[in-house]
Amino acid sequence: MFAEERFAKIIEAVNQQKSVKLSELCVLLDTSESTIRRDLNLLADKGMLVKVHGGAIALNESFTQTENNVEEKSKLFVEEKDAVAKYAASLIEDDDFVFIDAGTTTEKMIDYILPKRVSFVTNGFIHAKKLAQKNFKVYITGGEVKTATEAIVGAECVLGIQKYNFTKCFLGVNGISVSGGFSTPDKNEAGVKTAAISRSMKSYVLADHSKFDKISSVTFAELKKAEIITDRVPDKKYFGKTSIKEVV
């Protein structure tokens, strides 16, 4: 197969699927991994796709591997996050057993949670303090402290979460995309989020509109695994993929 033919088939696959793995392209084109890698590099240089670790993604979905710290995040989309947090808090009911993920939007939730018969588990140590100050019963996970996001992560944290059965969980996210699902840059934080979703009857992902059409390093769940609470959805294509609540 000539190079131009491979290029055309690669672009077609990426644009149709939005993201493709290197291994998938090798099978599709019956070509060696080293050749496909070179092809992806050339196509990325020409601005025809975005090359990522292990494959490629379409141009309309940007890849991000960096993450702001809590102080930086707290200054972004303040009104939008506040509206999302207020609605999310209204979903908590008497006798719920809730997991709240570390994060700036989930932290804002706590200000709006009314006095109820609710117990919480969280991997955010600031969250735990604020919940306890509001006289809720709260359990904090064990594990490694990640200061940049004020989160507790790691294998011990995941094992702890897997003991519980939550009625609801509320999670933060870095990227939302049709092809990449819900994603985050840190594999340890991704593990915590995946565990929480697997142990929850109902899962919610809290995100302002800037998180859509973004893919980060690690996918922690498919879109269908959680309802999205957002200020607004920038593209209607997401409405067919999962339940979405727009609050602005």
Q: Which two tokens stand for residue 234?
A: 């920038």
pTM surpassing 0.85?
no
Q: Where in the chain is the domain with CATH 3.40.50.1360?
A: 70-246
Q: Where in the chain is the domain with CATH 1.10.10.10?
A: 3-60
Which H or E run includes 36?
helix 33-45
Q: Which two tokens stand for residue 65?
A: 């591997």
Over residues 133-139, the mean pLDDT reads 98
Of 125, 126, 103, which Cα lies nearest the Cα of 189? 103
Whether pLDDT at 72 is above 80: no
Whether pLDDT at 71 is above 70: no
Tell me how far apart the alpha carbons of residues 149 and 162 are, in angstroms, rounded to a whole number. 22
More confident residue, 77 or 111: 111
Confidence of residue 80 (pLDDT cuts 50, 70, 90): very high
| 3-class state of residue 97 by DSSP | strand
Over residues 109-118, the mean pLDDT reads 97
Helix pair 104-112, 125-133: axis angle to 10 deg = 0
Over residues 223-234, the mean pLDDT reads 96
Q: What is the pLDDT of residue 67?
A: 67
Q: What is the pLDDT of residue 243?
A: 97
| 3-class state of residue 151 by DSSP | strand
- The CATH architecture assigned to 70-246 reads 3-Layer(aba) Sandwich (3.40)
In the chain, the DSSP E strands lie at 19-21, 50-52, 55-57, 62-63, 97-100, 119-122, 137-140, 144-146, 151-153, 166-171, 175-177, 181-184, 200-206, 214-215, 218-221, 227-230, 244-246
Of 241, 209, 243, 214, which Cα lies nearest the Cα of 228? 243
- pLDDT over 70 for what percent of the chain? 94
For 84-95, what is each residue's pLDDT tens digit? 999 999 999 999
Phi then psi dihedrals of residue 223, to 5 deg:
-60, -35
What angle (nearest 5°) sits at the alpha carbon of residue 104, between those of residues 101 and 105? Answer: 75
Tell me how far apart the alpha carbons of residues 98 and 40 are, in angstroms, rounded to a whole number. 44
Over residues 126-151, the mean pLDDT reads 95
Q: What mean pLDDT value characterizes the chain?
A: 91
Identify the CATH class of 3-60: mainly alpha
DSSP 195: H
DSSP 80: H
Of 240, 232, 241, which Cα lies nearest the Cα of 211? 232
Letter string b/e over residues 58-82, b meaning 16 or more CB atoms within 10 A of that residue's CB: beebebeeebeebeebeeebeebbb
